Structure 1
Amino acid sequence: MDGVTVIDHPLVQHKLTIMRKKETSTAGFRRLLREISMLLCYEVTRDLELTMETIETPLVEMQAPIVEGKKLVFASILRAGNGLLEGMLELVPSARVSHIGVYRDHETLQPVEYYFKAPEDIAERLIIIVDPMLATGNSSIAAVDKLKERGAHNIRFLCLLAAPEGIKNFQSVHPDVKIYTASIDSHLNELGYIVPGLGDAGDRMYGTK
């Protein structure tokens, strides 16, 4: 699927399978989400540009590679996005963070926005939006809309699971934003949940249902 990268690393797929199991505990789900987020982060940042810097090792002076440009911004779609965010910050602790408050109305399946906070210079940075699910795509579209309104133009979207319907919807509005996911599942059910999916990621992560 054009514009979509499926991260099929064996460790990613193994951990995702355990997360899908309904008997996986809240603590186990949360731990696995943190672990898998580091693996996903590794892949979504694989092509960051490098520059050379002169450093001194304990033995010699050398030219060594370092990430070029300003630090990344991880943009978490609240609340479930924070589960991915925590693991990614362990891997890239210097990243800036944006929080986007968007939830899906369960009757209309449309996004409701309630919070937005981001660094002022996001136009100069690579933004990686994180949310465990790309279901209908409406919340993700709203999040990208908000970031673009503030000047962001270099944006990627990272999720655990995506539905074909959500990908199609998302790409129809934001074809310039690449999608990275661990799995493209079968379809959405009548309630807008991804099938086979793993249930509501926020509820499973926080034990609220």
Structure 2
Amino acid sequence: MIKDERWEGVYSFEDSPYLMETLTNLRNVSTENISFRKGLVRLGRYMGYELTKTMEFEEMHVQTPLEKTKGIFPKDRSNVVIITILRAAFPLMEGLIKNFESAKVGIVSASRGHAPDFKIEMNYIKVPQVTPEDTVIVSDPMIATGSTLIHVLKEFKDSKPKRMMIVGVLAAPEGINAVKAEFPDVEIFVTKIDDKLNSDGYIVPGLGDAGDRAFGEPFKVSMLPQMHNLE
């Protein structure tokens, strides 16, 4: 894990050959949906493991078959809320939850409009109650403009959780700047920080639309059959 000196509380995993190999496969335009999804799960699982190293544990005693000995109790690991932004973050969340098996999970459906406004629409929010003892982890593969994440984080600002984190695959400097301007205390963990955004708001060199590459391109409404009068 590498701390990026450009920002406070921003980390990448460019020092991990395993994650860089996985990211290379995700970037490859020839990688098929199932391999892409599995790659996101691997990234989530590995980064979740690394996140546990930043958490607080309490000392405890345990009785072995032979005698008592010291151990640890996962104080912070037991108080995690994972917020998943539909739909690309599902595999990432699957990997994270392997390390935080007792985590509560929330779902947010949000979509970003086209350039230059990049208007955000949040159509569905279902999140568990957050307490001051909780660590909130927002999983979103791409931190591009940062607009979606800012909208999501605003949902929790009054809860005052112990920590707020964003876990993603790639980030653009523009997106990190935007998030940090609104939420300077949020911690950001990504596999790699890429070069920039293009005029359409995509991360470059990036890996394309993570949702489409993980689950396939969605049908357009105009492509669906008309089903108004089925009664």
TM-score between both structures, scaled by the size of structure 2:
0.85
Match of 2:225 in 1: none
When the two chains are superposed, the root-mean-square deviation of aligned CA atoms in Å is 1.6
3-state SS in 1 of match to 2:145: coil
Match of 2:110 in 1: 102
Match of 1:7 in 2: 13
Bigger helix fraction: 1
Task: Give the C-alpha shift of residue 20 in structure 1.
Answer: 0.4
Instruction: Give ranges in structure 2 of 5+ residues lacking alignment.
Output: 1-5, 219-231
Check the 8 A contact 1:44/1:158 in 2, yes or no: no
Which structure has more relative contact order (CA 8 Å, sep 6+)? It is 1
Task: Give the C-alpha shift of residue 151 in structure 1.
Answer: 4.2
Task: Give the C-alpha shift of residue 92 in structure 1.
Answer: 1.8
Task: Give the C-alpha shift of residue 180 in structure 1.
Answer: 0.8
- After superposition, the C-alpha distances for 1:130-185 in whole angstroms (9 at most, x for unaligned) are 10000000001111011214444520111100001111111111111011111111
Please, which moves more after superposition, 27-36 or 40-49?
A: 40-49
- After superposition, the C-alpha distances for 1:87-135 in whole angstroms (9 at most, x for unaligned) are 1112221111121222111353121111222222333301111100000
Match of 1:39 in 2: 46
Check the 8 A contact 1:135/1:192 in 2, yes or no: yes
For the pair shown, the structure with the greater C-alpha radius of gyration is 2
Match of 2:183 in 1: 174
Structure 1 segments (4+ residues) deviating >4 Å: none
Task: Give the C-alpha shift of residue 186 in structure 1.
Answer: 0.9
> Do residues 147 (structure 1) and 156 (structure 2) align?
yes
Match of 2:3 in 1: none
Match of 2:128 in 1: 119
TM-score between both structures, scaled by the size of structure 1:
0.94
Percentage of pairs with the same residue: 34
Please, which moves more after superposition, 21-30 or 94-103?
A: 94-103
Check the 8 A contact 2:38/2:91 in 1, yes or no: no
